[in-house]
Chains A and B, each alone.
Chain A
Amino acid sequence: MLDFIQQHQEMIYVVILMIFCGIEIIEKVPSVLHTPLMSGANAIHGVVIIGAIIVMGKAESDNYLALALGFVAVILGTLNVVGGFVVTDRMLEMFKKKKK
């Protein structure tokens, strides 16, 4: 465990800084924007797709289980990313229109 921390200390720093960063950023959001914000954040955690792509790209071409699971994972991840951003954009488009 200590080895793990030692090896990944850089990442652990990133985690801690990001926690504060995430909290700071959100704090000033007016409640009007809560739904688009949740939706936008939802799209951003779709970054998990990168893991799915790596898994899939590394799979041996005869390992059908890994290929199939990876395939599904990439589809799901893409859904999350693309759907998330498009939905958010649709919501925000309406906000813009009425601002004129």
Chain B
Amino acid sequence: MELNILTLCYLIGSITFILGLKMLSNPATARKGNLVAAGGMTIAIFGTIFLYEENGAKLGNYPWIFAALAIGGIIGTMAAKKVKMTAMPEMVSLFNGMGGACAALISFIEFGHHVKNIATEAPSTGTLITIMVGLVIGSISFAGSMIAWGKLNGKLKDFSFPGQHIFNLVLLAVIVGLAGYLTTSLSADNYYLFYVIAVLSLVYGVFFVFPIGGADMPVVISLLNSFTGVAAACGGFLYDNKVMLTGGILVGAAGTLLTMLMCKAMNRSLSNVLIGNFGGNKSGGAASGSTPQGNYKEISLSDAATVMAYANKVIIVPGYGLAVAQAQHTCHELEKYLEEKGVEVKYAIHPVAGRMPGHMNVLLAEADVSYDKLMEMEQANDEFKSTDVVLILGANDVVNPAAKNDPSSPIYGMPILEVENAKTVIVNKRSMKPGYAGIENDLFFQPKTSMLFGDAKKALQDLLAEVKNV
């Protein structure tokens, strides 16, 4: 009877996951969708704790389980409440790593279990495969997410060495080979290989993410997210547990598609991102493409303020610089003030601006920027022609005309915001350093472009003060 109720709990869980994801895809129902999924998860978790039984035996060790739930719950809530909106991508990556580690640990324990009983009862090949897959994918996801987290918050720099792709491929082949060997011929003599596989998978996760440039991190996080989903689904196979299976596979499939959509927005193939042609080997293709420089001109604050205050239409293009400087509130103030002066102000959001798709939307939403002021790329590109001033805040590669004009550029073919169609372009950047793609941006050297150097928040505050004086 109790098991039947548990089955019902799992069914509810599965349905809420699907419904939740579905509702998350619509702005009006998104928040409710998240709560629905969370509710389903709670039912599934507590159902498992109190109702699960195997061979007539209930689960034990309640004090331990509840202690762990409490610790994880408190830390998780605090971390999630405290994190700044700009650090959101790191946080997602970190939580994703936790899930991956959890899946790998389950494989560890289950494997230990089977090794202990190996003399009496050999585990089936299918069980071993799921344990191996859970271990390898979970470990890769964990190590990779940690590196992605470190890179996004600036603790780690890009790192690669010649032949790294080959090294990675060989490493992966060794992992798969060892796992295959162990699956088919596990014995009391070679079970230690399991731990070798675990270590190699962690190493692979590290080397897999390390050479990938910061701009590609969202793609990697999304991919690792779907990896963890698959690792969770392995647990579903292991325990014949439908809710783990549905949840895991759902995320695995959705995450993979989301990854592809992101790649598509950057006009690159997934393999191109993963092999790290772009982020790692900047010296290769990138240097040849752009002829360095020419002259750029700076604009003074008062000039910039005057141009904007007397414009009919201003479009703001936010990028990662805005996020780093936490300048979204100042930006909104400037926008409000300009609107009061009768200037039409809008925002043009490139699909991959910032560090994650939707990153800019989240930031601007935090600052209460009205939803209908945000334009997606196609719409913005139609409007630039009738725009007087484009203010670029810490965005670079997404406005680089080389993507349209220069076939030898590594970002050639990526859809960009065609800001050069506007009458004037003001670029706020901290320095002339290239963006994450590591390439020069011709836009900065065009006659209609002027540069406003400095931290985005500081620059915007000063600009706002100046605009008020105009």
Known contacts A53-B45, A81-B41; decide if A23 and B253 are in contact (CB<8 Å): yes
Q: In the complex, how many angstroms separate the beta carbon of A18 from the nearest chain B beta carbon?
A: 4
Q: Which of B314-322, B370-378, B454-462 contacts A (4 or more CB under 8 A)?
A: B370-378
Known contacts A21-B253, A78-B73, A86-B80; decide if A53 and B41 are in contact (CB<8 Å): no
User: Contact check: which of A21, A32, A70 meets B358 at CB < 8 Å?
Assistant: A32
Task: Report the nearest B residue to A30, measured CB to CB.
Answer: B27
With an 8 Å Cβ cutoff, the count of chain B residues facing the other chain is: 118
Task: Check if B147 is an interface residue, CB within 8 A of chain A.
Answer: no
In whole angstroms, what is the CA distance A39 to B34 when docked?
10
Which residues of chain B are within 8 angstroms of A14 by Cβ–Cβ distance? Answer: 242, 245-246, 249
By the criterion CB–CB under 8 Å, are A40 and B33 in contact?
A: yes
By the criterion CB–CB under 8 Å, are A43 and B102 in contact?
A: no
Which residues of chain B are within 8 angstroms of A98 by Cβ–Cβ distance? Answer: 365, 368-371
By the criterion CB–CB under 8 Å, are B95 and A84 in contact?
A: yes
By the criterion CB–CB under 8 Å, are A87 and B102 in contact?
A: no
Known contacts A45-B247, A74-B72, A77-B102; decide if A35 and B359 are in contact (CB<8 Å): yes
Query: Which one of B44, B88, B374 has the greatest number of beta carbons of chain A within 10 Å?
Result: B88
> Which bracket fits the contact residues of A?
35 or more
How many A-B pairs fall under 8 Å by CB?
379
Which residues of chain B are within 8 angstroms of A82 by Cβ–Cβ distance? Answer: 72-73, 76-77, 80
By the criterion CB–CB under 8 Å, are A18 and B356 in contact?
A: no
In whole angstroms, what is the CA distance A74 to B62 when docked?
12
Q: Which residues in window 101-146 of B have CB below 8 A to A?
A: 101-103, 105-106, 108-110, 112-113, 124-126, 129
Main secondary structure of the interface of A (DSSP, over half): helix
Known contacts A40-B37, A79-B76; decide if A50 and B243 are in contact (CB<8 Å): yes
Per-position contact with A for B325-368: 1 when CB-CB < 8 Å, else 0?
Answer: 00000000000000000000000000100001111011001101
Q: Which residues in window 216-231 of B have CB below 8 A to A?
A: 221-222, 225, 228-229, 231
Task: Check if B401 is an interface residue, CB within 8 A of chain A.
Answer: no
Per-position contact with A for B237-266: 1 when CB-CB < 8 Å, else 0?
Answer: 111111111111111111101100110010
By the criterion CB–CB under 8 Å, are B68 and A71 in contact?
A: yes
Per-position contact with B for A2-14: 1 when CB-CB < 8 Å, else 0?
Answer: 0110011001001
In whole angstroms, what is the CA distance A91 to B246 when docked?
25
Known contacts A18-B249, A36-B358; decide if A86 and B77 are in contact (CB<8 Å): yes
User: Contact check: which of B62, B69, B105, B250 meets A78 at CB < 8 Å?
Assistant: B69
Given pairs A34-B261, A36-B358, A50-B239, 5 additional interface contacts (CB within 8 A) = A30-B27, A45-B231, A73-B105, A77-B98, A89-B31
Task: Supply 27 A–B pairs (Cβ within 8 Å), ascending by A.
Answer: A8-B240, A18-B253, A25-B254, A29-B25, A31-B357, A33-B24, A35-B356, A38-B255, A41-B258, A42-B96, A47-B13, A48-B248, A51-B244, A54-B59, A56-B64, A59-B60, A59-B109, A61-B61, A72-B105, A76-B105, A77-B72, A78-B76, A81-B76, A83-B80, A86-B80, A95-B27, A95-B362
Q: Which residues of A contact B (CB under 8 A)?
A: 1, 3-4, 7-8, 11, 14-15, 18-23, 25-59, 61, 65-67, 69-99
In the A-B complex, the 4 residue pairs with the closest CB atoms: A57-B59, A78-B72, A4-B126, A22-B253
